[in-house]
A and B are shown apart, each in its own frame.
Chain A
Amino acid sequence: MTTPRFPLPVLGSSAPVEPQAVDLPDEASFAPGRQPGSDHGYGRSYWRSVEEQLHGEAALPHRDQEFPPGAFDVPKGFARRDFLQLMGASVALAGLTACTEKPVERILAYNKAPDGVVPGNPLHYATAFVQDGLALGVLATSWEGRPVKVEGNPSHPISRGTTGPHAQAELATLYDPFRARVLKERGAGRSWRGFRESMRIRSAAWEKDGGAGLRFLSGPSSSLLVGSLREAIAQRFPKARFHAWSATPRDSVYEGTALAFGRALEPHYVVEKADVILSLDADFLEARPDTVDQNLGFANRREPHHPKGMNRLYVVEPRFSITGGMADHRLRLRSADIEAFTLALAAELGKSVPTLSGYRSPVPLDGERAKFVAAVAKDLAGKRGAALVIPGERQTALTHAVAQAINASLGAIGATLTFTEPAVLDTASGRAGWQALVDDLRAGKVDTLVITAWNPVFTTPGDVDLPGLLKRVPNAVYLGLHDDETSRAVNWFLPAAHPFESWGDARSRDGALSIVQPLIQPLFGGISEAEVLGAFLTDDTKPYNRLKALHASRAKTDFDSEWEVWLANGVVPGTASPAVTPSLQTEKVRAAAAQARPAPAGLELDVVHDYKILDGRYALNSWLQELPDPITKVTWDNVAQFGPGMAKQLGLGNGDLVTLTVSGRSVQVPAWVQPGHADDAVTVSIGYGRKQHTLGVKDADEPVVVGHDVYPLRSAASPWFLTGLEVKKTGRKYPISTTQVTNVTEGRPIALMQSLEEFEKHPEAPEQRSPEKLPGGKELEGRLLPSVQPEVDYSKLPYKWAMAVDMSRCTGCSACVVACQAENNIPVVGKYQVGRGREMQWIRMDRYYSGPAESPEMVSQPMFCQHCETAPCEYVCPVNATVHSDEGLNDMVYNRCIGTRYCSNNCPYKVRHFNYLHWTQDKSQVEKMLMNPDVTVRARGVMEKCTYCVQRIERTRIASRIENRTIGDTELKTACQQVCPTNALTFGSLHDPKTQVSQRHADPRRFDVLHELNTRPRTVYLTKIKNPNPELG
């Protein structure tokens, strides 16, 4: 961080703006201009126009489209016709631009400048991004009180400066103009005070019966503040009950540890120390708040030069996951068979490891699987103390217990695996978490239900009729960001404040406590969970004061000063939970294992959370919707993934609409042929098929539904997989927009992959030669081919920017794609335009398969502007709009571009993107607040591409030049490099041989994509190295 970090000045605490008791609140009262937190505007110039300031024009017109024009529908002829533009065009053509007088720009200065704010320089605030109760420390870049970018917090133990895609896209949710603004009782606008009043009246009755009819349903939370509030409520109403619900529960983790060690524990897999890793359907490389740290640990061991050597990863899973893509050996198996597989493994190990004797698989494994088990067992047993078995959240408690038993017996605990007490308050957030509530609802025992969990009506399994049950609840309250399915099933709806708008706290997986501080005043006067719970107490202290009071005891010396430090650092020191060394209940586990029954045969339905929109909570987040799925590359949709064999058998192709029926409930989903997918299983991801995209859009043509809702297929008893699936072809096709049509490299040396063995034999495969080198790495004078580009002498300049991508590390998680989108104001174009090949993301995460379709190997190759030294795009541009900078950047000058698209045609990497339509017009004022003022917002008809985050380079350069020093290696990071959880991307100057990027450029694995074209790219790639087990080879 070059700029100093400040805690947010506490002027105007996050008390919600009280909406008036009218149908629509006075818009002016929401004008961000009125709120100190969000003072000053949007776009390039940070001043906001005076009209807006005075008349609160910024209040967000509710007719704004959430998605950019043409997001879903074909551009209808003259839908966006703009004759002024046409006139302007003709005038300009006449060369009379000087005649079109621009209106005078207004400059609004502060009335009273907030301390610490230097207009034009962003500040960075430490806060936390919370997902299902687990915190990830983040830093928010804020321009005059307007957060525009989220980055990982380097001093946070889990984040270490990186995040996954969700944290990056969170701001798009914060500035979502469709967020609910009105507090309603049965659809009629009410005030927050009115709500508290009615609760106060009811509480009289609860005090009599101890709140017997009072129920709370929340998402899993690790907030100590929420915890304390719950306690307080429990004290006041002893009979009140708290339940937790999440569509993606981690229950089996805790049930498993409970079975294995007698009490629920949080496992922490120290992947970096493991030489051999077995993943039992565990997607531990998906960058989520509970796994971000494991990414880096894993990636460090994928370097062949790592002192402790490369690790080896075995994956057993039904679908093809990110983790499966990184596997050295992958066995596709129905989820239902994985339990048996685990037991078979235990049995196999039992031969050599006494503590594991007595296990047996309910079903004998056939040839291939038996061979796999044997090999894995041998490998694991050979690496005692450095072996690790990771069971997946989708797996049964027994699988977890046995897996932990194996870990314990292989001496993993304390070495590659540590345990702590769970950080989350609600270790049961699945069926166990809320079955009791459902029973009470059925019995009609509940008179008041307060829902703070995300949209349970949408996320409940098909066999629970929550809307029906809610009808019986006289007083149901729902706190939500959006006016969604649940809000229409309750009588009190409270618009929620975004976590970035309210005070709170949260703990990360290892227990480290972070204070969640608001980055901006509630844009729509939302209410935080803490405030809602507070409404059930007698004292209405502000959450901010409760928070300080709650943590006052943690201070060693002076609380107030330490508090400031905690806020600044984002982590409260010494709060990480101590590791516990539990003792394995060998007999219990063995007994439970003996009860294991063979899984019923037949086709299996696998339900997974979506890589992009999770359980649907990001369904309205256009950044994530447009993000290509890391594996399928599908945007704006979910698909039913079939194994190649099954697809052939059923005669299915991509986009064939099929009816999936399981235990009487059926939905229609488009089919997708997924290489490497188990043939006896079908995978669908939840969260799609929401119908509220057009909520509040009065003049919408029709409700827009994205994807297909598969929650109805889920069952409360077994949420993750069900056997007995029936598939029927409807004979109809469904259009799917993917960003990659061809999945193989056509035998071209583009994305290179080698086995460790080959690599050690001859580190420099011939096709890895970079153009400056001859076989054997001898330097070649001059060039292989002549070029029309003038030779630039970079030696005179202080920097020679370059990038390097280590494909051994890259998992393809696509966090970089979203980070780039957020940093560079990249527009969203919508499903239809993506289908027409007009997606705008500057990073294209290329994904290639090799080998047989049944068990392919996957390689992900982030592809973005290579900043070629002899760039083919430069000499063909007729107007010099793309030229070479003195430091080797390939500059793209938007305002000079006339849009001939010749540069893109001549770009062999096809990494340039063209504004075919005016993506950025018709943006609402809130959406504009999301724009990075340091980057030009591109207009229609200009080309754009990766700039190496030139705005960051220039800011850092100017800062360093003012101090008369040079830029340090770690000082300057591009957005993609900053976010990358595996440190696969490095950026820096090649002049300094010590920089990481220089070292990677010198690495024997380095190769230049399409070097034979003599483009001499500044972005180079490092071969992906795999470490297969010879026995399985």
Chain B
Amino acid sequence: MAAAEHAAAASGADALDAYPLMVGKQDNTTLTGNLLAHVWARPDKGWLLSFMIALSGSGALVLAITVTLVEGIGAWGNNIPVGWAFDITNFVWWIGIGHAGTLISAILFLFQQRWRTAINRFSEAMTIFAVMCAGLFPLLHTGRPWFAYFMFPYPSTLEMWPQFKSPLIWDVFAVSTYFTVSVLFWYLGLIPDLASLRDASKSPIQRKLYGIFALGWRGSGRHWHNYKVGYLLLAGLSTPLVVSVHTIVSFDFAVSLIPGWHTTIFPPYFVAGAVFSGFAMVMSWMVPARHFLGLKHVITMRHLENMNKIILATGMLVSYGYLMEHFIAWYSGNQFEWFVFFNRATGPYKGVYYLMLFCNVLVPQLFWFKYFRTSIPWMFIASIFVNIGMWCERFVIIVTSLHRDFLPAAWDMYYPTWVDITLFLGTIGFFSTCFLLFLKFIPAVAVSEVKELNEELQHRPAPVTVVTGA
């Protein structure tokens, strides 16, 4: 069946689709040449400048972390009732962004979406860096991070165990698993390319360096076979994670009884949101990257348009989530529940709320139109808006639900401090730093896979089908 379906996809899709998966007639030599070019090229001014900015961002992050550890959480704006604010908002936002990678590389792989090949490396890298940023906050937001190891189930002399009913414990496992698998998946995919880097490198040091990481890849038939099997297994392994991680993150809220948090719709709604923001982030980085790294011939409008379609789809899912939240709040007749949503729209934080609606509900609607789907500047701007919108969504969910919950006497306001803001911007800086380094030292596109795709586009049956079919 796989073969048949594939053939259809290969031939049919191409015929129908306006945009090819690959521009121009390529062969392995040219591909190796132009896809690895940006690794060998000396970093230009633009790269250096942006790297400097990103690096200073990371510096700010270090500063903010130091202040937090020395002063205590008091350095932030959090209080009672608003026990969580920027910290968990950032956590959820980054985790969400981390979703695009695995989705593209795993799920689209299993569905044999060929347009994934050019962009999966890219988005997987992003996943890893995003999860690194996210992982920072659960640790940092605790009042006594140096005791955070209490969260791990280990036989202690206290004969105490963690509270396994607590979603925070689930988080610990969900996030760490997700990170490990993502790293393995990414690295496995890298091996053949590292090998070709090794072979193409000029200086012996580079050669040795890439050599070490290439783990002695020789590209023999047996290598390829094991590689394919391993890749397939990891893909299968990480597919459920795409869904599970953000589901569990959403439990942090859904399991509680705070109005605006205690909602059964959260898991699907959070996952959709995650993919939404993830693709937006990929888009925001890919548009400049393909331009500056000269990847336009492999990352074509076909890719971009497909991603915009996904952004539109997930955006609609998110909008539906909002709709349902509000409807259920009204329909439940629960005055606390209803008040929260009323307060979001009319309360002191309504600005953030409307920004969220604009970015997450209105902006994606652009992509109904092919013009916007295929216009580089528009999709770039839109993706930025979506990123902002999704951050606002998390802020709205966390802060507006907490700051006015059950007993009016306990209500209060939350205002971020400079430490809060620096922490957030700092993580963006750190993310960018990692990403720029990645773009410098590692091929941004999975060269071997692209070559394979190239083969496939020329003569059938493609090796992929053989393996997957087997």
A–B contact at 8 Å CB threshold (below) = yes
**Which residues in A have some Cβ–Cβ distance to B below 8 Å?**
70, 75, 77-78, 80-83, 85-86, 88-93, 95, 740-748, 750, 788, 833, 836-838, 844, 846-848, 861, 863, 872, 874-880, 896-902, 904-906, 908-910, 912-918, 939-943, 1009-1010, 1013
Which residues on B sit within 8 Å (CB–CB) of A917? 71-72, 74
Does B384 sit within 8 A of A, measured CB to CB? no
Report 5 cross-chain contacts, Cβ distance below 8 Å, ordered by A residue. Answer: A744-B408, A876-B165, A901-B141, A910-B406, A940-B143
Does B110 sit within 8 A of A, measured CB to CB? no
Does B149 sit within 8 A of A, measured CB to CB? yes
Contact among B84, B145, B160, B161 for A905, CB-based, below 8 A: B84
Does B166 sit within 8 A of A, measured CB to CB? yes
Contact among A93, A833, A879 for B162, CB-based, below 8 A: A879
Contact status A879-B150, CB under 8 Å: yes
Does B409 sit within 8 A of A, measured CB to CB? yes
Which residues on B sit within 8 Å (CB–CB) of A910? 80-81, 405-407, 410
Which residues on B sit within 8 Å (CB–CB) of A876? 163, 165-168, 255-256
Contact status B406-A80, CB under 8 Å: no
CB of A880, distance to nearest CB on chain B (Å): 5
Which residues on B sit within 8 Å (CB–CB) of A942? 143-144
Contact status A908-B79, CB under 8 Å: no
Contact status A837-B409, CB under 8 Å: no
Contact status A878-B168, CB under 8 Å: yes
Does B77 sit within 8 A of A, measured CB to CB? yes
Contact status A1013-B257, CB under 8 Å: yes
Contact status B165-A788, CB under 8 Å: yes
Provide the bound-state CA to CA distance between A750 and B80, in Å.
19
Provide the bound-state CA to CA distance between A900 and B145, in Å.
9
Contact status B405-A908, CB under 8 Å: yes
Query: Residue on A with the closest CB to B166?
Result: A878
CB of A303, distance to nearest CB on chain B (Å): 25
The contact size tier of chain B is: 35 or more
Provide the bound-state CA to CA distance between A918 and B172, in Å.
27
CB of A1012, distance to nearest CB on chain B (Å): 8
Contact status A844-B409, CB under 8 Å: yes
Contact status A846-B145, CB under 8 Å: no
Contact status A86-B84, CB under 8 Å: no
Provide the bound-state CA to CA distance between A89 and B147, in Å.
8
Which residues on A sit within 8 Å (CB–CB) of B335? 747-748
Binary CB contact string for chain B from 134 to 153 against chain A (1 if under 8 A, 0 otherwise): 00000001111111111100
Does B412 sit within 8 A of A, measured CB to CB? yes
Does B89 sit within 8 A of A, measured CB to CB? no
Contact status B413-A837, CB under 8 Å: yes
Query: Residue on B with the closest CB to A78?
Result: B70
Contact status B142-A745, CB under 8 Å: no
Provide the bound-state CA to CA distance between A846 and B408, in Å.
9
Which residues on B sit within 8 Å (CB–CB) of A877? 163, 166
Within 8 A of A (CB), among B70-117: 70-75, 77-84
Contact status A918-B81, CB under 8 Å: no
Contact status A837-B148, CB under 8 Å: no
CB of A875, distance to nearest CB on chain B (Å): 4
Which residues on A sit within 8 Å (CB–CB) of B407? 750, 846, 863, 908-910, 1009-1010
Query: Residue on A with the closest CB to B415?
Result: A836
Does B339 sit within 8 A of A, measured CB to CB? yes
Provide the bound-state CA to CA distance between A744 and B74, in Å.
29
Provide the bound-state CA to CA distance between A1010 and B258, in Å.
12
Known: A846-B409, A875-B166. A899 touches B70 (CB 8 A): no
Query: Residue on A with the closest CB to B255?
Result: A876
Query: Residue on B with the closest CB to A861?
Result: B409
| Residue in A847, A908, A909, A1013 whose Cβ sees the most chain B Cβ within 10 Å | A908
Known: A902-B166, A915-B143. A879 touches B151 (CB 8 A): yes
Contact among A91, A740, A896 for B160, CB-based, below 8 A: A896
Contact status A838-B79, CB under 8 Å: yes
**Which residues in B have some Cβ–Cβ distance to A below 8 Å?**
66-67, 69-75, 77-84, 141-151, 160-163, 165-169, 172, 252, 255-258, 335-336, 339, 402, 404-413
Provide the bound-state CA to CA distance between A748 and B404, in Å.
13
Which residues on B sit within 8 Å (CB–CB) of A748? 335-336, 406, 408
For the complex of A and B, the 9 pairs showing the least CB-CB separation, nearest first, are A899-B143, A941-B143, A837-B79, A901-B83, A916-B74, A917-B74, A846-B409, A92-B146, A910-B410
Provide the bound-state CA to CA distance between A997 and B151, in Å.
38
Known: A846-B409, A875-B165. A837 touches B82 (CB 8 A): yes
Which residues on B sit within 8 Å (CB–CB) of A878? 150-151, 162-163, 166, 168-169, 172
Provide the bound-state CA to CA distance between A941 and B79, in Å.
12
Contact among A80, A847, A880, A900 for B141, CB-based, below 8 A: A900
CB of A746, distance to nearest CB on chain B (Å): 5
Provide the bound-state CA to CA distance between A288 and B423, in Å.
50
Contact status A900-B339, CB under 8 Å: no
Provide the bound-state CA to CA distance between A93 and B150, in Å.
11
Provide the bound-state CA to CA distance between A90 and B65, in Å.
13
Contact status B409-A742, CB under 8 Å: yes
CB of A807, distance to nearest CB on chain B (Å): 14
Which residues on A sit within 8 Å (CB–CB) of B83? 901-902, 904-905, 914
Contact status B168-A900, CB under 8 Å: yes
Contact status A898-B73, CB under 8 Å: no
Which residues on B sit within 8 Å (CB–CB) of A837? 79-82, 412-413
Contact among A90, A847, A909 for B146, CB-based, below 8 A: A90
Which residues on A sit within 8 Å (CB–CB) of B80? 837-838, 904, 910, 912-914
Contact status A898-B147, CB under 8 Å: yes
Contact among A93, A838, A905 for B402, CB-based, below 8 A: A905
Contact status B142-A900, CB under 8 Å: yes
Query: Residue on B with the closest CB to A1013?
Result: B257
Contact status A880-B160, CB under 8 Å: yes
Known: A910-B405, A910-B410. A85 touches B144 (CB 8 A): no
Known: A875-B163, A1010-B406. A898 touches B148 (CB 8 A): yes
Contact status B142-A898, CB under 8 Å: yes
CB of A803, distance to nearest CB on chain B (Å): 17
Provide the bound-state CA to CA distance between A267 and B252, in Å.
62
Contact status B168-A740, CB under 8 Å: no
Contact status A836-B77, CB under 8 Å: yes
Query: Residue on B with the closest CB to A93?
Result: B146
Query: Residue on A with the closest CB to B406?
Result: A908
Contact status B148-A93, CB under 8 Å: yes
Contact status B410-A898, CB under 8 Å: no
Query: Residue on B with the closest CB to A97?
Result: B146
Which residues on B sit within 8 Å (CB–CB) of A904? 80-81, 83
Contact status A906-B258, CB under 8 Å: yes
Provide the bound-state CA to CA distance between A896 and B145, in Å.
12
Query: Residue on B with the closest CB to A1015?
Result: B257
Which residues on A sit within 8 Å (CB–CB) of B78? 901, 916
Which residues on B sit within 8 Å (CB–CB) of A747? 335
A sample of 14 more A-B contacts (CB under 8 A), given A838-B80, A914-B73, is A81-B71, A741-B413, A748-B406, A838-B74, A848-B408, A872-B256, A879-B160, A897-B143, A898-B144, A902-B83, A905-B83, A905-B258, A908-B405, A918-B72
Which residues on A sit within 8 Å (CB–CB) of B408? 742-746, 748, 750, 848
Contact status A844-B410, CB under 8 Å: yes
Which residues on A sit within 8 Å (CB–CB) of B141? 900-901
| Residue in B161, B162, B407, B411 whose Cβ sees the most chain A Cβ within 10 Å | B407
Provide the bound-state CA to CA distance between A571 and B225, in Å.
97
| Residue in B66, B142, B147, B336 whose Cβ sees the most chain A Cβ within 10 Å | B147
Which residues on B sit within 8 Å (CB–CB) of A81? 70-71
Provide the bound-state CA to CA distance between A116 and B172, in Å.
55
Contact among B81, B82, B150 for A896, CB-based, below 8 A: B150
Query: Residue on B with the closest CB to A74?
Result: B417
Which residues on A sit within 8 Å (CB–CB) of B165? 788, 875-876
Contact among B70, B79, B150, B168 for A836, CB-based, below 8 A: B79
Known: A908-B406, A909-B410, A917-B72. A92 touches B147 (CB 8 A): yes
Provide the bound-state CA to CA distance between A916 and B83, in Å.
10
Query: Residue on A with the closest CB to B70?
Result: A81
| Residue in B74, B81, B161, B256 whose Cβ sees the most chain A Cβ within 10 Å | B74
